[in-house]
Amino acid sequence: MSMATLDDWVRFIERVNPKSIDMGLDRVERVRRALRLDPGFVVITVGGTNGKGSTCAMLEAMLMAGGYRVGCYTSPHLVRINERFRVGGVEMPDRRLIHAFDMVEQARGDVELTYFEYTTLAAMVLFSRADLHVAILEVGLGGRLDAVNAFDPDCSIVTSVAMDHMEYLGDTVEAIGFEKAGIFRPDRPAVFGNPLMPESIREHAVGIGARLLRYGVDFAAERDGESGWRFIDQDTGVALDLPLPALAGEHQIANAATCVAALGQLKPLLPLAPAAMAEGIRRAQPGGRFQQMLDAPRVFVDVAHNPHAVATVAGNLHRMPCGGRTLAVFGIMRDKDVPGVLELVRDVFDEWWIPDLAVPRALPANELSGLIAELRVKGAVHVTSTPEEAIVAALQVARPEDRIMVFGSFVLAGAALEFFATPAPQMQPEVVNA
């Protein structure tokens, strides 16, 4: 079977497996062997509840600044599927993705791959033909049973562990930590990027003989004035003075330090000068991470969709001076901890716009607006039919000194990025006061 367009392939892979999430490595292992995918390049696998995308972007930028040819596979995408597959910092064109999907389809036989398994295998097909030095693979869900774990990493990173995807990973931080630690390998570096580490991470690393490095114990980061920070290797005492990340938020310093620690462990395979690390930290800027879209009013877009990530967004807003009101455009999936998210921003926003998101998993706008009212969260609430209408409505009432925070689902963030990338539409939003 071969498809004429990339859109045809996307529609096809969405329906091969009746389950959108089907945890396990058996299917992807069988097709990996059929494709004879055995990477001849360094592999860095990045998992964690939050911070994966930022960490992947910084690793990619640092290594590229050092002259390496880098492949980077991330998920989900914001606007188009091509975003998931980069070589040398460039998204793969449709024709190459079509060819990669065609190869996976020829190899899978009767194996019912999930959408994510399909894209993971396609990424490795692309990377195996790209003459790479290193590939960065972002875990989709969990780690132990995630499709990227079919490929052995030379270094594993877990950025953080928090409560999310409990129906698949467990209902405690320790259970979720165990699933995340499944990407560790014996006698290979395993870097944990947060001072709050579940005991299950340590137990699993010790149990398999992985070389665990922990933020705040084996390495640390110290803010140094308004423009820099210092990475400290706690074992050797060696310190590096580095610039602040391009990405907004104090937590990005910890993400950058985690990258530096991991690359330090990979020095025998991928030696990298401090100047390349500094250049990568200054350059990396993935979309949808507190990304500013307008100046007056200031508009930000963030993919924060669980309490840990939303707490970071709230902290960023709190630290930023604002002479006017703070407005929200918000949408989220129904399987997230929505009350936990709303509790963290109970007093942050002066007004809300809630759009319907055109995906089955989304919490309908009317239900979400009702929950905001039920929990007595500050601010009037308005319901709109689409993300575009919500953004237009917020812009129409915003004054230059106000700010608008578009946050929640990747679906909403992607719609916002697409909206601001096109000429201003002439549309009258249909808004219903909740």
**pLDDT score recorded for residue 434:** 41
Percent residues over pLDDT 90 in the chain: 84
**pLDDT score recorded for residue 1:** 61
**Please, which contacts does 372-376 make with residues 24 or more away whose CB atoms are closer than 8 Å?**
372/342, 372/434, 373/434, 375/339, 375/342, 375/343, 375/346, 376/346
**pLDDT score recorded for residue 424:** 57
Whether residue 349 sits in one domain with residue 242:
no
**379 vs 361: CA distance, rounded Å:** 25
Whether residue 244 sits in one domain with residue 150:
yes
Whether residue 333 sits in one domain with residue 239:
no
Whether residue 163 sits in one domain with residue 88:
yes
Token pair of 387 as six digits: 């993300």
Whether residue 277 sits in one domain with residue 156:
yes
Whether residue 269 sits in one domain with residue 305:
no
Say which DSSP state 240 is in: E
**346 vs 117: CA distance, rounded Å:** 38
By the 10 Å C-beta count (0-12 exposed, 13-18 middle, 19+ buried), 59 is classed as buried
Is 25 part of any domain? yes
Quote the Cα angle for 406-409-410, to 5°. Answer: 95
Task: Give the type of residue at 291.
Answer: Q
**pLDDT score recorded for residue 422:** 77
**135 vs 129: CA distance, rounded Å:** 12
Whether residue 240 sits in one domain with residue 100:
yes
Contacts of 18 (CB under 8 A, 6+ apart): 112
Neighbours of 306 (CB within 10 A): 21
Domain boundary among 283, 300, 324: 283
Whether residue 43 sits in one domain with residue 173:
yes
Whether residue 339 sits in one domain with residue 306:
yes
SS3 281: helix
**Span 232-242, mean pLDDT?**
91
What residue numbers bound the domain in which 297 lies?
291-433
Residue 428 has pLDDT above 50, yes or no: no
Q: How many domains would you assign to the chain?
A: 2
**Span 410-419, mean pLDDT?**
95
Whether residue 161 sits in one domain with residue 104:
yes
**Span 222-245, mean pLDDT?**
91
Whether residue 269 sits in one domain with residue 151:
yes
Tell me, yes or no, if the pTM score tops 0.85. yes
Using pLDDT thresholds of 50, 70 and 90, give the confidence band for residue 400.
Answer: very high
SS3 384: strand
**135 vs 138: CA distance, rounded Å:** 10
Say which DSSP state 431 is in: E
Whether residue 425 sits in one domain with residue 276:
no
Q: Which residue has the tokens 């219903």?
A: 432
99 or 18: which carries more pLDDT confidence? 99
Domain boundary among 267, 283, 299: 283
Report the greatest alpha carbon distance in the chain: 62
Is 370 part of any domain? yes
Is 1 part of any domain? no
Q: Name the average pLDDT for the chain.
A: 93
Which CATH number do you get for residue 361? 3.90.190.20
- Pick from 385, 378, 355: which is nearest to 368 by CA? 355
Which CATH number do you get for residue 205? 3.40.1190.10
Token pair of 268 as six digits: 């025998």
Domain boundary among 258, 283, 308: 283
Task: Give the type of residue at 85.
Answer: F
